[in-house]
Structure 1
Amino acid sequence: MRQALLDCATKLALAHGLAAVSLQAVASAAGVTKGGLFHHFPNKQALIEAVFDGMMENLDREIDEELEKDKGGHGTFTRAYVRTLFADRAQNNSPWSAQTMTVLADPYSKSLWHKWINDRLIRHAATDRGIRLEIVRLAADGAWLAHVLRPDGDPGSDDAALLQELLDITDG
C-alpha cells in the first residue's frame, strides 16, 4: 500500500505539479481512506519526502546502469550523470521535472541532493575530480533546467549535439 501511495503522489505531481499532491487526492487516487494514508505518512511533508527519496533511489540506479556501460577511466561518473540527465530530458515526463522547484526551495530536498552529489563525488574522486568535469556536470544541470523551464512545444537546443559535446569534454 505504501508504494501505491507513493506512485499515486508521483503521478499527481507529474500531471499537475506539487500543488496537486494533497493527502486527499493521493488517498483517492490510491483507493484508500485518508486514515489509510496516515498509517504510512503522518503529513504531506512526509509523503513528499518519501517521493523524493524514491526518486533519488531511481536516479542512483539509473546512474549505476550507465556506469556499467561506460568505458571507465577519467570522467566515468560525469559521463553517466550527463547521459542520465539527457535521457531524462528525452523522456519529457520525468518526476524530476515536477520536483525541480521543490529541490530549489525545500530544505529537506536540498539537503538530500547535496548529500547525494557529494557522496557520489567522493566515491568517484579517483576518476571525476577536477574543474573541467565539474563544468560539464554544471552545464548538464543547466541544460536540464532549461529544458524543464522551456514552454511546451519549444524544441530548444539540439540535445544530441549538446550531449556529444559535453561527453567529448570528459575525455580529457
Structure 2
Amino acid sequence: MAESRYTRAKQPEQVRRALLDCAAAIAMDHGVAGVTVQAVAVAAGVTKGGLFHHFGSKQALIEGLFADLLAHVDAEIDAAIEADPKPRGRFTRAYVNAVFTGQAFGFATPWAALSMVVVTDPPLRRLWNDWIKARLKRHRTTDDAPDLQIVRLAADGAWLSYVTTGQTRMSAELRAVHARLLAQTYQRR
C-alpha cells in the first residue's frame, strides 16, 4: 500500500483525475448531496488529506467537477464549430446540439440532472455565467444577434423542462423543437 501511495504522489494529475471521476460517479448515482469528502476519498483510494491536497474543500471539489464538465462541453462545442461550414450561428447551433444531444451535457447524459445545482449554488452559477459570457464574446461576430439569443434561450428552456419533469429520453415533441431551433439559426432576420 505504501508503494501505491508513493507512486500516486508522483502522478498528481492522475490522482486529481481519479478524484474528479469518482466524484462524478457518486454525484450521478446519489446526487451532489452524496458527494462527501469521505466517499470520494474512499472511492479514489486516497486519504481525505490526499483529497484536500488537490481540492481544499468539498465546495472546491464540486467546483472542480463542474469546471471539468464545462471543459468537456467546450471540447464538444469546439469540434462542432470546426465542422460547421456556415459561420453565422455556428456557436448557437453547436450549443443547441450540446444541450439536446451532446455527450457531455445533453438531455440523455447523467449530467443533465446534475447540472441543476448551478441554479442554486452561487459559485457554480458564477462559473456558468463566466463560461457563457466568454463563449458569447468569442463568437460575437457570428452569433451576436437577437434571433440567435432567442434560440439559445429556448434551448435552455427546453433543457430546464426536460430535467425538471424527470424525463428519461427525448420525446418526439422535443426532437421537433430541436430541429426547429436549428432551422432558425440558418434564417437571417
Q: TM-score, normalised by structure 2?
A: 0.83
Please, which runs of 5 or more residues in structure 1 have no aligned partner?
none
Identify if the C-alpha distance between structure 1 residues 17 and 148 changes in structure 2 by more than 3 Å, giving closer, same or farther: same
> Match for residue 150 of structure 1?
165
- Once the two structures are overlaid, the 10-residue window that deviates more, 56-65 or 25-34, is 25-34
RMSD of aligned alpha carbons:
1.8
Given that residues 18 and 99 in structure 1 are in contact (C-alpha distance below 8 angstroms), is that contact kept between their aligned partners in structure 2? no
- Once the two structures are overlaid, the 10-residue window that deviates more, 19-28 or 32-41, is 32-41
**Identical amino acids, percent of aligned pairs:** 47
| 1:46 pairs with 2:60 | yes
Q: Equivalents in 2 of 1:154, 1:76: separation in Å?
A: 26
Identify if the C-alpha distance between structure 1 residues 157 and 56 changes in structure 2 by more than 3 Å, giving closer, same or farther: same
Amino acid at match of 1:67: I
> Match for residue 97 of structure 1?
113
Shift of 1:120: 1.0
Please, which runs of 5 or more residues in structure 2 have no aligned partner?
1-14
Q: Equivalents in 2 of 1:91, 1:153: separation in Å?
A: 8
Q: How many residues are aligned here?
A: 171
> Match for residue 67 of structure 1?
81
Shift of 1:140: 0.4
> Match for residue 148 of structure 2?
133
Identify if the C-alpha distance between structure 1 residues 153 and 124 changes in structure 2 by more than 3 Å, giving closer, same or farther: closer
Question: What pairs up with 1:2-17 in 2 under 5 angstroms?
Answer: 2-17=16-31
Given that residues 107 and 162 in structure 2 are in contact (C-alpha distance below 8 angstroms), is that contact kept between their aligned partners in structure 1? no
Q: Could you say which structure has the larger radius of gyration?
A: 2
Structure ranking higher on relative contact order (CA contacts 8 Å, 6+ apart): 1
Shift of 1:60: 0.6
Shift of 1:5: 0.5
Given that residues 99 and 107 in structure 2 are in contact (C-alpha distance below 8 angstroms), is that contact kept between their aligned partners in structure 1? no
Amino acid at match of 1:113: W
Q: TM-score, normalised by structure 1?
A: 0.91
What per-residue deviation string (whole Å, max 9, x for no partner) do you get for residues 93-152 of structure 1? Answer: 33242121x211112111111111111111111111111111100000111111111225
Shift of 1:90: 6.0
Given that residues 23 and 35 in structure 2 are in contact (C-alpha distance below 8 angstroms), is that contact kept between their aligned partners in structure 1? yes
Identify if the C-alpha distance between structure 1 residues 137 and 7 changes in structure 2 by more than 3 Å, giving closer, same or farther: same
| 1:108 pairs with 2:123 | yes
Given that residues 67 and 77 in structure 1 are in contact (C-alpha distance below 8 angstroms), is that contact kept between their aligned partners in structure 2? yes
Shift of 1:67: 0.6
Q: Equivalents in 1 of 2:92, 2:157: separation in Å?
A: 14
Following TM superposition, where does structure 1 have runs of at least 4 consecutive aligned residues deviating by more than 4 angstroms?
152-157
> What SS does the corresponding residue of 1:32 show, helix, strand or coil?
coil
